[in-house]
A and B are shown apart, each in its own frame.
Chain A
């Protein structure tokens, strides 16, 4: 047995090395007084990744430690991760729920451990956190709908690429957009299909199928920029003989560049950097005993070719 061990010693050494490498990259090396947990729904989505970067940058500026975990869109994973953060002794949790359900379980677990919760982007209706930071999606989607109405002269057929069904942003964007459409009876929604993860490849496939079934679609609304970019690609590949207006939502870096290049006609830019900073500062406030407003809704800005420039240089 001894021989076996010795022969495998290099392997063992590699395990140890790789683990300590990982650990040294993280913030454990210099433990600071205040540790805040950040549970993200899915870092593959640029929108969440921007919030994460902004939270981490603000934390560095304020001299607090942030531990980030990524649920990769799976709510069961997220429950485990929040458990781990609580075990690690975080003082506050910044929480972006993955999926629509199970969202309440982590909040309840944190509350049971007396840890305040800052919900970002989505909020569990059965177990709200100490505050909820998000874009006012309803009014933003309404603004976007009105813009589409004006741009098309109130006439056309719309295909909608929905986000993950049951999530707060999907429901709110649906509500706001429909409100706007009521003023434009000539605009008709002919197709609506949900995606699973708001991703670009999904948007491409959904857009292609919609064009196959309704070749006369004149407007695509992607409930996220990635979905809209996928749809725009589908329009290009299908080589349709009329102009198709494609609009997105979020104001991702890729989305903003697409607006600049004319691939997308418009997007609603959310203040991701601002939301990340606000989330961290709210966490610090609540740790220091301040009471936070139940909701801190942020404006999203209608972004077209005319005003996209500054946003690409510095994201709000």
Chain B
């Protein structure tokens, strides 16, 4: 057997030993961390390559990356939230709100898009901060705190334009999601990949990133160890709000429009992706690498089933079954370790 895993099951102890936090990167470590879900992803790819001859192509791989970008950006923030033992149900609503603010600023007030984006991202961060304050100051359970923001955010998204959609952005803005630079990388996909790398390094190698695992492992222990639990919790929720905003902008670019009903139900897909990636809803366990694999599993599943021409009703059954199997598989493997 391989040595005990270090990647995902960081406990309070890990954070207390900074030397361990600065361990060296090895491929072995990475593979161990995501091995279960990764196995499922590879298996899915093999199956779809057999059921349809159009699945295995560079163009389709790029399509999948494009299709998972919004979910992936949301899932990065959600990973941090779940690692500290929280949950964020408001991501879909905050996404819609930021998208609407940006669209409305341009449509009604002729605000240049970059300034609109900045204001929209601030609004997203503010929603996240409100979540964080409800959790840390008002002591609401994260589920309830973010459920209220889910409702408020959706309402505000509709209020901005009285429920109307905003259609038609300048070409350069829609090109961010549709033009593949150097033949393969659109700006939004590039942004997603950059965010993945930064957050992966942060969660694995930065002392603050490591202390998030400590908070999820046991908030009281982490506090006694000198970690600013309240402040970090606040910032993690703010970050999730900011990333929801980034996802909203990416979606507006992809759809060439803003609509208040965007992202309905995305919180569940996002949480599913993070959990498929090996995170535990009780906190302290999880990682960006696993989340990326989880996101890709969801993306490949949808894409492959469409390409195979499976009926939409059967698709829903298969998606449910595969997610159940993926998580069961991972749980059994963990028990063994």
Which A positions have Cβ atoms within 8 angstroms of B? Answer: 1, 4, 7-8, 11-12, 14-16, 18-20, 22-23, 25-28, 40, 43, 65, 67-70, 73-76, 79-81, 83-85, 87-89, 99-102, 104-105, 126, 164-166, 194, 196
| Cα–Cα distance between A79 and B135 once the two chains are bound (Å) | 36
| Cα–Cα distance between A165 and B259 once the two chains are bound (Å) | 11
With beta carbons under 8 angstroms apart, the residue of A4, A43, A65, A100 that contacts B333 is A4
Specify which chain B residues have a CB less than 8 angstroms from the CB of A164 in the assembled complex.
261
Which B positions have Cβ atoms within 8 angstroms of A? Answer: 1-2, 40, 43-44, 47, 51-52, 54, 57, 59-60, 63, 66-67, 70, 163-168, 251, 254-259, 261-265, 302-303, 305-315, 317-318, 321-322, 325, 328-329, 332-333, 336
A-B contacts at CB below 8 angstroms, number: 147
Tell whether, in the assembled complex, residue A194 and residue B318 are in contact, meaning their CB atoms are under 8 Å apart. no
Tell whether, in the assembled complex, residue B306 and residue A76 are in contact, meaning their CB atoms are under 8 Å apart. no
Tell whether, in the assembled complex, residue A68 and residue B312 are in contact, meaning their CB atoms are under 8 Å apart. yes
Given A74-B264, A104-B256, 14 more A-B residue pairs with CB atoms under 8 Å apart are A16-B43, A19-B44, A43-B312, A69-B312, A70-B312, A70-B315, A73-B264, A75-B255, A83-B66, A84-B306, A87-B63, A88-B307, A126-B167, A196-B261
Specify which chain A residues have a CB less than 8 angstroms from the CB of B163 in the assembled complex.
165-166, 194
Residues A68 and B332 in contact in the complex (CB < 8 Å), given A19-B47, A76-B251, A101-B166:
no
Closest residue of chain A to B314, judged by CB? A22
Q: List 11 A-B contacts (CB under 8 A).
A: A11-B329, A15-B43, A15-B322, A22-B318, A76-B70, A76-B254, A80-B63, A87-B307, A88-B52, A99-B259, A102-B255
Tell whether, in the assembled complex, residue B328 and residue A75 are in contact, meaning their CB atoms are under 8 Å apart. no
Smallest distance from the beta carbon of A180 to chain B beta carbons, Å? 25
With beta carbons under 8 angstroms apart, the residue of A1, A4, A25, A194 that contacts B314 is A25
Tell whether, in the assembled complex, residue A101 and residue B259 are in contact, meaning their CB atoms are under 8 Å apart. yes
With beta carbons under 8 angstroms apart, the residue of B44, B305, B307, B333 that contacts A22 is B305
Tell whether, in the assembled complex, residue B311 and residue A26 are in contact, meaning their CB atoms are under 8 Å apart. yes
| Cα–Cα distance between A71 and B313 once the two chains are bound (Å) | 12
Q: Which 4 A-B pairs have the closest CB atoms?
A: A101-B257, A70-B312, A84-B306, A102-B255
Specify which chain A residues have a CB less than 8 angstroms from the CB of B264 in the assembled complex.
73-74
With beta carbons under 8 angstroms apart, the residue of A19, A40, A68, A89 that contacts B51 is A19
Tell whether, in the assembled complex, residue B311 and residue A12 are in contact, meaning their CB atoms are under 8 Å apart. no
Tell whether, in the assembled complex, residue B165 and residue A69 are in contact, meaning their CB atoms are under 8 Å apart. no
Tell whether, in the assembled complex, residue B63 and residue A83 are in contact, meaning their CB atoms are under 8 Å apart. yes
Specify which chain A residues have a CB less than 8 angstroms from the CB of B318 in the assembled complex.
18-19, 22
Smallest distance from the beta carbon of A316 to chain B beta carbons, Å? 25
Closest residue of chain B to A164, judged by CB? B261
| Cα–Cα distance between A146 and B291 once the two chains are bound (Å) | 58
Tell whether, in the assembled complex, residue A26 and residue B43 are in contact, meaning their CB atoms are under 8 Å apart. no
Specify which chain A residues have a CB less than 8 angstroms from the CB of B67 in the assembled complex.
80, 83
Residues A101 and B258 in contact in the complex (CB < 8 Å), given A11-B329, A83-B67:
yes
| Cα–Cα distance between A68 and B314 once the two chains are bound (Å) | 11
| Cα–Cα distance between A68 and B256 once the two chains are bound (Å) | 24
Smallest distance from the beta carbon of B138 to chain A beta carbons, Å? 30
Tell whether, in the assembled complex, residue A166 and residue B165 are in contact, meaning their CB atoms are under 8 Å apart. yes
